[in-house]
Amino acid sequence: MPIEPAVSVVIPLYNKASHIARALDSVFAQSVPPTEVIVVDDGSTDGSGDVAARYADTGVRLIRQENCGVSAARNRGVAEARTDLIAFLDADDEWKPGFLSEIMRLKSEFPDCGAYATAEVLTGIDLPSDPRTLRAIPPEPWIGILPSVFAAFEESTPFNPSSVAIPKAVLTEIGGFAVGMKTWEDIDCWVRIAIKHPIAFSTARLVVYHKEAENRASLRERTLTELRFTKTIRNAVSGGDIACALQEDALEFMAYSQLKVAAGNITAGNPRYARMLLLSCRGTRRYARDWRRLMLQTMLPPGWPVRLKAVRNAMRTLAGRRE
C-alpha cells in the first residue's frame, strides 16, 4: 500500500534568491508529496520572497516577517503548520526524491521517536560529494534508533536541519529552536530532543547539503561564548535526566564543545574565559591530552598561543614538502 503522508515542510528563507527555487523544486519532486509547504521569508532584501511567491499556484504558503533569525523563522513555520510532523529544509539545500518517503518509513517503524532523520551528501567549493561514515552509526544500509546521539555528535553531526523531521508535539515540549543563537542552534535543538526521546535514523543519503551556498551561519560566525547546550547537558546529567548508559557520551560531547570554544578564546586573547570553560570539563578522558594542551596555553603570555600555532603550521608545511 502507498504511504499516506501527513507532513508539513517548513523552509526558513533569508537572502537565498539564487537557491530557493532549487529547494522548492526538490520538494515537489518527492515520490511522496507533503501535505503542505510553508516558506517563512525572514526579512529578505534580495527578492527571495518574490521567487518563492511564484510557487503560489503549487500550494506554497509564503509568510513574510521582519528579520528575526533562522530559529524564529523555523518556529513561525511550526506554529503555522497544520500537521503533526514537521520536515525542515534550508533554502540552500535540496532533497532527493525519496527523502519524505524514507522519513515516513522511519515514522511508521519507530512511531515514538522524538525526531526522524537521514544521512546527507556534502557538496561545496573544492569539496567533492562527501558521503560521511561515522563510527557511532552502524554501516549502511541501516535504519534504526541511534545508539548514542552524543557519541555521533562528537565525530560530526549525522544530520542537519535539512534532513530531519520532528513531531510538532516534541517541538512544543522542548520550546522549539532557541532564538538568538547565531550558530549551533540546530545542535542545541537536537540535544534537547535527545535528552528526552530516542532519534530514528536512516543511512540513506537523501539530502544534498550545499556548503558553498552564501550566508551559511557556519561561514559567518565564530563562537566565543559557552554554547547553551553544554549547560543543558550538564544540568541534565546532574539531574539524572539522561540515561546512565548515555551520560559518559553526553559529558564527552560537552567537553568536545567546550574545548572548541576555549580554543577560539585563546586565539582571540581571552585566556581567563578559556580557562573557565576548560575547568568545567576537566574530567574528560577522551580529550585529556587536548585539555592539558589548551590549559597550558591559557597560562602563556598574550600572543604566544597564536605564534605557537603559526610555528606548528609552518612545520607541517615543511614536513609535507619533504615527503
The CA-atom distances, in angstroms, between 220 and each of 33, 79, 155, 182 are 34, 28, 22, 9
Residue bearing the bigger pLDDT, 134 or 108: 108
**Is the pLDDT reported for residue 309 higher than 50?**
yes
Q: What nine digits make up the cell of 143?
A: 535504519
Please report which confidence band the pLDDT of residue 2 belongs to, taking 50, 70 and 90 as the band edges: very low
**Is the pLDDT reported for residue 311 higher than 80?**
no
Please report which confidence band the pLDDT of residue 313 belongs to, taking 50, 70 and 90 as the band edges: low
What's the average model confidence in pLDDT over 32-57?
96
| pLDDT tens digits along 199-255 | 999 999 999 998 765 555 544 445 688 999 999 999 999 999 999 999 999 999 999
What's the average model confidence in pLDDT over 177-194?
91
Ordered by start, the domain boundaries in the chain are: 8-220, 228-322
Could you tell me if residue 133 is left (phi over 0), alpha (psi between -120 and 50 degrees) or otherwise beta?
A: beta
Question: Residues in the chain, how many?
Answer: 323
3-state helix, strand, coil in the chain (%, to 5): 45, 15, 40
pLDDT of residue 183: 82
pLDDT of residue 301: 79
Burial of 208 (0-12, 13-18, 19+ CB in 10 A): buried
Q: What nine digits make up the cell of 100?
A: 519524505
What's the average model confidence in pLDDT over 111-122?
94
Average pLDDT, the chain: 88
**Is the pLDDT reported for residue 323 higher than 50?**
no
**Is the pLDDT reported for residue 322 higher than 60?**
no
pLDDT of residue 125: 54
pLDDT of residue 180: 85
- Tell me the pTM: 0.87
What's the average model confidence in pLDDT over 185-211?
94
CATH number for the segment(s) 8-220: 3.90.550.10
Please report which confidence band the pLDDT of residue 317 belongs to, taking 50, 70 and 90 as the band edges: low
pLDDT of residue 224: 85
| pLDDT tens digits along 132-171 | 566 788 888 999 999 999 998 887 778 999 999 999 999 9
> Please, what is the end-to-end C-alpha distance for the chain in angstroms?
59
User: Which residues have C-beta within 8 Å of that of residue 208, sequence separation ≥ 6?
Assistant: 93, 94, 95, 96, 120, 121, 123
pLDDT of residue 124: 66
Residue type, 318: L
